[in-house]
Structure 1
Amino acid sequence: MPDVIFPLDSTRPFTEQELLGHNRWHPEIPAAVMVKPGESFRVDCREWFDGAIKNDDSAEDILNAPLNSVHRLSGPIGVEGAKPGDLLVVDILDVGPIPQETGPLAGQGWGYTGIFARGNGGGFLTEQFPDAYKAVWDFSGGVATSRHVPHVSFTGIVHPGLMGTAPSKSLLASWNTREAALIATDPDRVPPLALPPQPDSAILGSVPAAEFDRIAAQAARTAPPRENGGNQDIKNLSKGTRVFYPVYVDGAHLSVGDLHFSQGDGEITFCGAIEMGGYLDLRVDIIPGGMETYGVAENAIFLPGNTDPQYSQWIAFSGTSVTLDGEQKYLDSHLAYQRACLHAIDYLTTFGYAPEQAYLLLGAAPIEGRLSGVVDIPNSCATVYIPTAIFDFPIAPSIDGPVRIDPGQGAPKASF
């Protein structure tokens, strides 16, 4: 096992650890630890809400989830010799849940998926699903099952939802400017169009007290993916993956967190993955001047790992860029994917699942989402592929009609 350079004690809150991580992006957050190119190391990662979500049959914790406090990131990890303009090479050697069988924190034998209420984060289908729901998943031998979404089991594609390098001052300023302009187009929208800097609940590592308020007022939230990588939620960044991140500051300042036991493409419920705490084994290296050499001015390039479960049969659903009210949109791939997901949800309800159970399943299971057609005006075509092997009953249409399953206790609900 590589040396643990960023340890986390599961009995203590994130802000009371030996090394303090962060939950905002800013170039002036000092490196918590330094590593050398070619070095392998382990990083412990806390679940994104630091234990606020419980293994129970209530969704009140999802309803009132403290969004201002996310994500709890381990880092920044400084890489000796890394300079702006370089590419940081990050190999994911291993990733897994907290190495204990049972415990109170997500990752200790269990994880969760949430549908966030429209008034507290929302999700991809928030107009159709405005209330909060939760599904708890148990881990056994790399397989996830849930008392809240019965009759399914699947092997997890374990991966970090969030990994990235620190922005430069100019890049941070551009984020804040463009996102503020977007918010200004509809400042009262619920959920909001973007999340501006929020000093409340900011965690800034070892930033000096005299500079804390200034930096907290500038620091970017970690919710969206951006040029530095960030919260990309790419399920295929699994063990064996090599990622090439642009470097914007001396030392690169790599940070990681938001580990997922499994996730479908799109993480459509917003808290759509199976969230957990755990560990990440990494190796880093540098390609000097790699940003210019390979034309990588922004956004990471990656070579996916080869440890994904191999499903051979799928049931797929398509959608086009026409609203539920019948309004035609022009090549709207986002809308087309929404419609494909809604078609899948409607189909799964014919077997006995509640719509919310089907929605949670699409967020957590290793579904594949594809932009299947983006040129045939006026309709984009998006598709959702669900592996048939995850179900313990026949899922394909047949002349005999759908098999009715017992949906169990269902997913707990909470609403404002």
Structure 2
Amino acid sequence: MGDFAGVLRRGERVPEGAVYLPAGRDTALWGRLPAKHDAPVLTVDPGATVVVDTLSHEGLLPDQGSDPGAFFGSHGVTADAVLAEASEFAESGSRTADDGPHVVTGPIAVRGAKPGDLLVIDFLDFTPRVPYGVISSRHGRGALPGEMPPGPDNVSVFTRIGKDTAGTWRGWLPGRDGGRPTTGFPLAPFMGIMGVATDTDERAHSVPPGPHGGNLDIKELVAGTRLYLPVQVPDALAYLGDPHFAQGDGEVALTALEASLRATVRFDVVPEREALRSFGELASPLGESTDYLIPTGLDADLDEAMRGCVRQAVAILAARYGMEPHLAYAYLSAATDFRISQVVDLVQGVHAMIRMSDFEAVPGE
């Protein structure tokens, strides 16, 4: 996580010479994802590093008053600590009830990317832009619809960010409304939404993820990891949004700790032939960290999402390591964790953690 120094406003502390994309009404969409006919707001070559500001939707929505200044002010946030673009979006009237909640920065064209290739997004750094965030629970959504939240209204839990005695940044929650913080959990910032444009005339809703990526909500994709996305349209038309400060696998309450981030990312392209040789034919996005390959499965039915993830993992082990399917299946059962990414985004997600070092081990004599 980059150095956190209070409020990081649009255009502030951008490294000299950096390619920078702010989040604003002319550089971002609200509630929808880019489609094939959208014009890029930025065009870069493969290998380019871009500093991208992202904006959380929390504090902007109708059930929060559609007035970020008033919403955050009611929790003691001063006016100068509310990002200007939050108010700009809330006042714009550009989002309808049929749209998703998320603000998405982009699209970014990556020259030469074509369908069949993989777009690579390397996540180099995530820096918080504000010292607070929100965890929301809304009726009809989350893991316990109809049970939580317990009252008639939606619940938005304001969460302060601060250091513990060891100097670790944490989100702090009270045990009772209005009480002092009693629980602190470490921050691990990442992007909930990262994807490529869909090969459709209509813009996709921002909530359900799919082969294009989108609202994947995979908490492992922190700084130092990467994501491979099957390209659907020329130049990929990439985007980032739905910034998170922290999340547990499952994201059971509907949202995790959501707040605005500045992301530093690098874009690259894997040509189709090389992609097939390295990973087989990817049906869904693939994450990678220093230690793990992270295939995904996505479906409205969590059981089907699990099956899709297992099939994708078997195919990757066959392509990358030459394993026969029944042996790959056995390995996955013995050595790989399959995790629930989220159960709240209409299309549910499962991801696997394939330990790459297992394929570098040499049996003893």
The TM-score range, normalised by the shorter chain, is 0.5 to 0.7
CA RMSD of aligned residues (A): 3.1
1:4-43 equivalences under 5 Å are 4-8=19-23, 14-15=24-25, 17=26, 19-21=27-29, 23-25=31-33, 26-43=35-52
Gapped regions of structure 1 (runs ≥ 5): 9-13, 99-107, 170-214, 307-330, 335-367, 372-416
Structure 1 residues 88 and 370, CA gap change in structure 2 (3 angstroms): closer
TM-superposed deviation, 1:269: 1.1
Contact 1:49–1:66 (CA under 8 A) maintained in structure 2:
no
- Give the one of 188, 209, 215 matched to 1:157: 188
TM-superposed deviation, 1:48: 2.5
Matched, 1:127 2:143: no
Cα distance in 1, alignment partners of residues 98 and 246 from structure 2: 21
Contact 2:191–2:240 (CA under 8 A) maintained in structure 1:
yes
Contact 2:100–2:207 (CA under 8 A) maintained in structure 1:
no
Normalised to the residue count of structure 1, the TM-score between the two structures is 0.53
> Matched residues, percent identical?
30
SS at match of 1:123: coil
- Quote the residue 1:281 is aligned against: 264
Q: 1:24 is aligned with what amino acid? A: R
- Quote the residue 2:135 is aligned against: 113
1:75-224 equivalences under 5 Å are 75-98=106-129, 108-118=130-140, 122-129=141-148, 131-141=153-163, 142-147=169-174, 148=177, 150-169=181-200, 218-224=202-208
Structure 1 residues 157 and 81, CA gap change in structure 2 (3 angstroms): same
TM-superposed deviation, 1:36: 1.0
Deviations 1:136-179 (A, max 9, x none): 1111242111344831112111100010011223xxxxxxxxxx
Contact 1:228–1:298 (CA under 8 A) maintained in structure 2:
no
Matched, 1:261 2:245: yes
Deviations 1:279-321 (A, max 9, x none): 1100111111144333233211111368xxxxxxxxxxxxxxx
Q: 2:31 is aligned with what amino acid? A: N
1:223-372 equivalences under 5 Å are 223-271=207-255, 273-289=256-272, 290-293=274-277, 294-304=279-289, 370=339
Higher strand proportion (structure 1 or 2): 2
Contact 1:75–1:255 (CA under 8 A) maintained in structure 2:
yes
Cα distance in 2, alignment partners of residues 157 and 21 from structure 1: 25
- Give the one of 27, 49, 68 matched to 2:99: 68
Structure 1 residues 49 and 305, CA gap change in structure 2 (3 angstroms): farther
Structure 1 residues 125 and 333, CA gap change in structure 2 (3 angstroms): farther
Contact 1:145–1:152 (CA under 8 A) maintained in structure 2:
yes
Q: 1:302 is aligned with what amino acid? A: G
Deviations 1:257-280 (A, max 9, x none): 000000111111112x11111211
Structure 1 residues 299 and 47, CA gap change in structure 2 (3 angstroms): same
| Range 108-117 or range 25-34, more displaced | 25-34
Structure 1 residues 84 and 45, CA gap change in structure 2 (3 angstroms): same
Gapped regions of structure 2 (runs ≥ 5): 1-14, 65-70, 77-89, 91-95, 164-168, 292-301, 306-336, 341-365
SS at match of 1:43: strand
Cα distance in 2, alignment partners of residues 68 and 248 from structure 1: 22
Q: Which of structures 1 and 2 has the larger relative contact order (alpha carbons within 8 angstroms, sep 6+)?
A: 1
SS at match of 1:221: coil
Structure 1 residues 291 and 305, CA gap change in structure 2 (3 angstroms): closer
